[in-house]
Structure formats: C-alpha cells, structure tokens
Structure 1
Amino acid sequence: MRPWIVGEVAVHRIDEAELPAATGRWLLPGATAEVVGNADWLFPDFADADHAIRLHSHSFAFEKDGMKILVDTGIGNGKTRANPAWHDLDTGYLDALGAAGFAPDEVDLVLLTHLHTDHVGWNTRARDGEWVPTFPAARYVTARAEREFWAGFAMDGPRQQMFEDSLLPVERAGLLDLVDVPANGVEIVSGVRLLPTPGHTPGHVSVEVTSSGETALITGDAVHHPVQFAHPEIGASVDIDPAESEKTRRRLLTGLAGSETLVLGTHFAPPTGGRVVSHGGGHRLVAKRPDGAPPKATQR
C-alpha cells in the first residue's frame, strides 16, 4: 500500500478486513438503499451495486519526530466475539504492519480513539495461552474520560470479554496512559493532537496530524461512513449519545468543508481518504487515493 503524504509524514493504512454488507445495515440503519442510491458520489468506492455501504477495518501508522505511531488496532486475531464478522479472525494484519515498516517491537505509541472491540483488538496477541501486549515497547494512550466511563459501565458478557483480552493485559503491564483532553485538544507528540469528538462514546477522540503546513484528521468513529457527510443525522446503532454524536459530526463537517485537510476514515473503504466539500445543501467527500496510486475507473 502506498501512503498518503502529509507534509513530511507518510500515513499508511494497515488493512485488517473488509466487513460484510450486513455490518453496514446493522451499524448505520439510517443508510437505507434509497438514501445511498441518491448520493451518486458514493459509487463505486463507498457503496456497492446493491446500494449497500462498504465498511473496512484498518489502522493508520506513521512516523513523527522519530516515533512510530499507530492509531487504533482493529479487531485482532483468534478472539472470542459475539459478532460473527469479528469472531476468531485469522488475518495478515501484523504482516501488513511489518511490511509498512512498523514491526510490533518497534512501535512507540498506540493512540486509541475509543475503547470499542473493533479498535483495540490488536492491543494484545496470544502467547503461551495468555493475552500479552502486541506492542511491548509502546505507550498506549486514550482519553481519561473514556476509560473512566467504561469503568463505571454495567458491561454485558461480550464487552467484558473484550476488556479481559484486549485492554486489561495492557493495563496490568503498566502500558496504558490516560490523558485529559480539553476542548481544544491535547498534543501528544509535536504535530499530533487528540481532539475531543464525543458522542459515539463519551471520551471519543479523533487524531490530527500536522506537518509542514499540511493536516490530516483520522476520524475514529466520529464518522463511520462518507454517507454521513451528506446525512449527519444518520447515527450508529451503538452510539452512546446519539444527539451528541450528530452534534460532533456537524461541527466537524463545518470546520472541514472547503479546507485542505485530508480526512482519513477509520472504517472508510478504499480509497479511505479525501477532502470535505459543500454539496447540495450538505457535504460530500472528494476521494484522495494514497499518493502515487492509480485512479479507479468510475462504474456503477
């Protein structure tokens, strides 16, 4: 995979899996075939011929100031999950990560936008019958508000399982670093900021990367799919606070529209990145493929 170039930073998409069409219907029930079909610009990249939205699971990796940084860690391999699309996966994620130049032992910083199953899975991997940190030299960072929310939340069995295999081993190893994220965000490394984007979860953050006057924003689940640019009222079935989630999307879109900021969606199907422009009384994403990648033929 070719990276996107943001100033002097190369941002790599680390692929894990394409998610089945049923995931989109469950996750964004408001993204009906009619709604999707009325947004021609979603085709062919972000929707299929049946007007079902396309979703992917991936991470982003980049190097900044000599630090190797990973944003979110996907679903993970070999984990017991209630969602059939996430259960007991066997993907080449770590091979893809290594091929991009981010061997697990070399990763310095893992930024977690929030603590949902499909964003923390590769925090750990199985070794000698136990779950151990995949990135033993890394500092794992998430918002203090996020961790504290789940600490007081009455979890069902599947969510408790996720914490047991993907978060608690990191905490027990002393690698989890909780940070306070004020309204204007917090800089973690020079040019890398966590920005509060609450609603999907109370402590959800997006990640802003700035270099040589250029900027990229990694959305996390503040936006799941580009259809929400045209319809920010479409929320996710698992949003903790749907009204706050919509408010966050509208604020993001207002700030991004017409700017040169590269938006990188944590679940956006390839080409995954683009810029937000005003369109038909709302907004749309103008796709930007990784630098040097050939354009895709238009079809529907």
Structure 2
Amino acid sequence: MTNSTVHLDERLRRPSGIRSVRLGDTKVSFVPDGAVQGRPLAWLPDTTDEVWAAHPEYLDASGHLVASIGGLLVENGDRALLIDAGFGPQSVPAAPGQPNGAIHGGALLDGLAELGRGPEEIEAVAFTHLHADHLGWAWHPAPGGDRPAFAHAGYLVSEPEWAQRHLPEAQGMTKEIAALAPRVRAVADGQEIFPGVRVRIAAGHTPGHAEYVITSGGQRLIAFGDALHSPIQVDHPEWSCVYDHDPVQAADHRRRLVAELEEPGTIGFGGHFADVVFGRVRRDGDGPAWRPLDA
C-alpha cells in the first residue's frame, strides 16, 4: 500500500476542512460546519457486512461512515452565494437503533470568516433540500442573538420542494419551515440564481431535491447535494440511502449523475463526502471511481 493510498484512506473517514476550487472567475469553497456518523448497514440498506469488511477504509474507528456537513460558498467578484447552511450551532448524540450516530454543527461562521466573508455578505442561501443538516444556520438563532446568521439574505428553494414542505413538517420540522418561510423564494428548474449558477431539479432524495450546476472558465461543477451520501456509491449507484424519499428514482438519477461526472471538464461536489468533497469520476479499473481533485 502506497503512502498516497494511506493518506486517501484517512481522508475517507474524517470530516473535511475548508477546500477551495477555482473555475475561471468563480471560486467555490466548502465551508465545514460539522459532521454526522452513519451506521453503514442502516444508511445504505442494500449493503452487507461483507461489503464493509472489504472496504474498511470508509469507516472510522467506531465502525461508522463519516459524512461532512457544511455549505458551499460561491464567490464571483464582490458577490457571494451560499449553497446549504449546515446543521447550525447544535449537537445531537447517537440514539440506539437509529441510522445516525452522533451529529454536530457549529463551525460554519468561523469557516466563512477564515475565507474572508461575514454572513452579512451572503446575498442568498440556496438549499438543495429541506433536511435539518442543510438548513441549520438559516433558522437557528446565531450565538449571542435572537436571529439566524443569514436573516438578511434571500432563501432559495426549488418550486417542487417548497410546494411539498408539508413532508418535512410532518417529520417534526414545523418550526424550521416556519422560520424559513418569510424569506423563501421558490426557484424553477434551469433558473440562473447567481452568475454561472443554475438550478437543476433532481428528485429522488426528496420530491424537489435540487442540484446546482456552476459553469465558468470552460469548466462545470455539479453540486449534487444528497443525490450521493458516500463516495462508495459512485461505484454502486444502485445503493440508495435510507433517507431517500423514492429509492428507485434516486438510484435512477445517481446512474445518470455518475455518467455525467465522467464527462470531460466536469467536477463533482459532494457535501457529505468526508474529506474528499471535490472530485472527478474515473471508471478506469484503477481503484475507486471517485478521485479527489487534490489526491
């Protein structure tokens, strides 16, 4: 086993730090907020003990998948957009019998500051979908105050996702949805929401799950949200996550997405992809298909 392989294995089982990529005039940066542990057989129910015995590199010392949580900062000149808003300043311990282990957030504002941005500079927060680990700082009061960190920004949600907001409300997210509602602007498939950034409806994980396609400098980055939860799914797009609203639709979309990520000039961004959030897909028989940009 080479040193580079050992280094990659370590990155597959730890949360990401700040990572940045330039696309022409646009800079995109992962801003970490925290992490969640996933019980592998529960998160990906079509896997087996044999799968994970063969791929221990994906599991931390406690046997969990490690998923980063955070947001994607998109900067173009003086303008700044944030895609997803982390879990917020809160923690939830592991609960027996649940798919998740421990989950925590709280670091996103510090990461923005390190990147030279204050929350007041974010003109809009665009959400991939209405799950708690993507909404945190948009509804939870920021430390030391009674308003969310991005209370001055517009909140962008895909039209079909917002139209079916009763689904997350039925799962106990009434206060979160109510806090978002006054600032939400529903956006349509194909709509440009920021220079070079377009919405793409990619239902399956949720009924109106959105991806964001960022194009600049002859390159394309697909921020695919929760269409994929772990790099191992790039090799097995048929494996749906327990949290997918429609597992069959989600798997169908993943197959198309993985093929698209193989195309020249295309970069993927997976916000839950441990410490390998930016990558390309290369199915050449030489190791995993997901290749981190900076491996």
Class of the TM-score when normalised by the shorter of the 2 chains: 0.7 to 0.9
- 1:163 and 2:168 matched: no
Deviation at 1:65, TM superposition (A): 5.1
CA distance in 2: counterparts of 1:171 and 1:79, whole angstroms: 24
SS at match of 1:209: strand
Counterparts of residues 18-57 of structure 1 (less than 5 Å): 18-22=35-39, 24-36=40-52, 38=54, 44=57, 46-48=58-60, 52-57=64-69
SS at match of 2:205: coil
Change (3 A) 1:2 1:272: closer
Show structure 1 runs of 5+ residues with no match: 290-294, 296-300
CA distance in 2: counterparts of 1:127 and 1:285, whole angstroms: 35
SS at match of 2:102: coil
Deviation at 1:134, TM superposition (A): 2.0
Number of aligned positions between the proteins? 273
- 1:196 and 2:197 matched: no
- 1:62 and 2:77 matched: no
Q: Could you tell me the percent identity over the aligned residues?
A: 30
CA distance in 2: counterparts of 1:128 and 1:222, whole angstroms: 31
What are the Cα deviations for residues 60-80 of structure 1, in whole angstroms up to 9, with x where unaligned? 112125321111111112478
CA distance in 1: counterparts of 2:79 and 2:177, whole angstroms: 22
Select which of 59, 68, 71 maps to 2:83: 71
CA distance in 2: counterparts of 1:205 and 1:59, whole angstroms: 14
Deviation at 1:142, TM superposition (A): 0.8
- 1:100 and 2:112 matched: no
Name the amino acid aligned to 2:73: A
Aligned position for 1:176: 184
CA distance in 1: counterparts of 2:278 and 2:164, whole angstroms: 30
Aligned position for 2:251: 246
Counterparts of residues 1-300 of structure 1 (less than 5 Å): 1-22=18-39, 24-36=40-52, 38=54, 44=57, 46-48=58-60, 52-64=64-76, 66-78=78-90, 85-86=102-103, 89=104, 91-126=106-141, 132-151=147-166, 153=167, 155-156=169-170, 159-160=171-172, 162-164=173-175, 166-172=176-182, 175-181=183-189, 185-280=190-285, 284-289=289-294
Name the amino acid aligned to 2:235: A
Deviation at 1:33, TM superposition (A): 4.6
Aligned position for 2:13: none
Change (3 A) 1:278 1:73: same
Name the amino acid aligned to 1:248: H
Consecutive aligned runs of 4 or more in structure 1 exceeding 6 Å deviation: 79-84, 127-130
CA distance in 2: counterparts of 1:213 and 1:119, whole angstroms: 29
Once the two structures are overlaid, the 10-residue window that deviates more, 124-133 or 25-34, is: 124-133
TM-score normalised by structure 1 residue count: 0.80
Deviation at 1:135, TM superposition (A): 0.9
Change (3 A) 1:189 1:215: same
Deviation at 1:283, TM superposition (A): 7.3
Change (3 A) 1:84 1:252: closer
What are the Cα deviations for residues 130-176 of structure 1, in whole angstroms up to 9, with x where unaligned? 9633213311101110011123x3844xx33x330x3322323xx21
Name the amino acid aligned to 1:163: T
TM-score normalised by structure 2 residue count: 0.81
Deviation at 1:199, TM superposition (A): 0.4
CA distance in 1: counterparts of 2:71 and 2:285, whole angstroms: 31
Deviation at 1:260, TM superposition (A): 2.4
CA distance in 2: counterparts of 1:127 and 1:107, whole angstroms: 15
Asked if structure 2 preserves the Cα contact closer than 8 Å seen for 1:55 and 1:267, the reply is yes
CA distance in 1: counterparts of 2:72 and 2:168, whole angstroms: 31
Name the amino acid aligned to 2:46: G
Asked if structure 2 preserves the Cα contact closer than 8 Å seen for 1:65 and 1:190, the reply is no
CA distance in 1: counterparts of 2:92 and 2:65, whole angstroms: 26
